Amino acid sequence: MRGVLQGDETENETAEAVEEFQGYLPYDVSQTTIEIVLALFVLVVGWYLSKLVVRIAGRTVARKIERPSVTRTVLRGVRISVLLLAGFIAAGILGVGDTQILLSVTVISAVIAVVLAPLVGSLINGFFVLADRPYEIGDMIEVTDEGHKGFVEDITIRYTKIFTLQNTFIVIPNSEIHERDVINYSAEDERTRISIAFDVTYGSDLETARKQAERAARTVDLVISGGPDIRIGSARYAAAPLCNIEEHGDHGIALELYFWIKHPYKQAVARSDVQAAVRKRFAELDVEFAYPRRHHVFDESSGVARMAVDGRGSDHSNPESGSGPGSPVTPGNRLADGSEAETPPEDELDTESDTEDRREQ
């Protein structure tokens, strides 16, 4: 009952204000036209007032909230609140009561909940992104599933906008990015550790290869050549390049060269420069890169290799032909195809005849 009385009082005050404003006009204008003009005027004032409030409160909110993404979200909420207030005032000028406004808001909210149900997941995941702080505006991130890499341009309740290294924009819904693995290269420290792998032959000097690879990496401008250890969590890593032995492979000794770079968005350039420097340094020394190769060894256990000078192999399938390995070709000894077969040497024939004599005895 009290709400109804308050609504009637608001309508009466609005009507009195409209009538008073109508008295200042030099000509007769209908009350409906005046109400529409006043409502539009309130909306326009509310639009610019919301921008002014955001501009005034922006610095204060930014000082109290260190995260830019949360600051932008709060300022968006402040502006929406000012616009909603202006909308309620404009609705009151047009004669819409509080009860009707609440009923309209309820109906509109129900319709939005049904029609825009897929967006609810993005909004909820947007709150999780803002609360979990996996990345911040200005950070360089990589979405591992898609291979997208770039800088975070904006974070909203619904999506995350990424400015890629290829000078393009990618908008990823928070419902998708919340379920993917995200690598943040700028979370605490922009310095990034990368590595390159290569093999050297077993005949190369291993210690020389390791030391020269480290020295080659130090000559690259993008690589941190030394200094205090870099801390990652509770562990500390040497800032200077380090070459480790990974394994003894089939074709050579596998080495891994680790080094730190100053900026995460220059990984490809740094890796290419380091590989070129290592190759140039190894070319000047007695260090050879290993690659897959085969080395064939023939000894007494390898068998006999038969070759024909004229490109045709000897036929050993017909024992009656009298052919044998290393036997000369005679005109009277021919195969079925017309080719001349080889006859065994005399010493082999003598050996075969002696064997037959022993069997008869």
Domain coordinates of the chain in residue numbers? 2-115, 134-184, 192-284, 306-360
Which tops the pLDDT comparison, 139 or 9?
139
As a whole-number percent, the residues of the chain with pLDDT over 90 amount to 16
pLDDT band at 116 (very low <50, low <70, confident <90, very high): low
CATH architecture type of domain 134-184: Roll (2.30)
**Tens-digit pLDDT profile for residues 273-288:** 999 999 999 988 878 8
Which tops the pLDDT comparison, 69 or 264?
264
pLDDT score recorded for residue 2 = 46
Section 149-167 average pLDDT: 84
Which tops the pLDDT comparison, 341 or 157?
157
pLDDT(153) > 70: yes
Please give the C-alpha separations between residue 152 and each of 13, 205, 316, 336, in angstroms, as whole numbers: 50, 46, 77, 83
Residues 6+ apart with CB under 8 A from 332: none
pLDDT score recorded for residue 238 = 86
Q: In 3D, which of 174, 180, 181, 73 has the Cα closest to residue 125?
A: 174
Phi, psi (rounded to 5 degrees) for 79: -65, -40
Section 253-276 average pLDDT: 91
DSSP 255-300: EEEEEEES-GGGHHHHHHHHHHHHHHHHHHTT--B----------G
pLDDT band at 39 (very low <50, low <70, confident <90, very high): confident
pLDDT score recorded for residue 175 = 74
pLDDT band at 164 (very low <50, low <70, confident <90, very high): confident
pLDDT score recorded for residue 41 = 84
pLDDT(128) > 70: no
CA atoms within 13 Å, Cβ hemisphere of 121:
8
pLDDT score recorded for residue 154 = 84
pLDDT(332) > 50: no
Which residues lie across from 334 on neighbouring strands?
340
Please give the C-alpha separations between residue 221 and each of 213, 218, 261, 277, in angstroms, as whole numbers: 15, 8, 9, 11
Section 297-304 average pLDDT: 67
pLDDT band at 70 (very low <50, low <70, confident <90, very high): low
Burial of 243 (0-12, 13-18, 19+ CB in 10 A): buried
CATH 1.10.287 fits 2-115, yes or no: yes
Section 258-285 average pLDDT: 91
CATH 3.30.70.100 fits 192-284, yes or no: yes
pLDDT(23) > 60: no
Section 311-317 average pLDDT: 50
pLDDT(77) > 80: no
Rounded to the nearest integer, the mean pLDDT of the chain is 73
User: Which of these ranges, 145-159, 198-212, 338-352, has the smallest mean pLDDT?
Assistant: 338-352
pLDDT score recorded for residue 103 = 60
Contact 73, 157 (CB under 8 A): yes
pLDDT(317) > 50: no
Contact 189, 230 (CB under 8 A): yes
pLDDT(237) > 60: yes
DSSP 131-175: HH-S--TT-EEEETTTTEEEEEEEE-SSEEEEEETTS-EEEEEHH
Neighbours of 220 (CB within 10 A): 22
- Long-range contacts at 334-342 (CB < 8 A, ≥ 24 apart): 339/312, 339/315, 341/314, 341/315, 342/314
pLDDT score recorded for residue 105 = 63
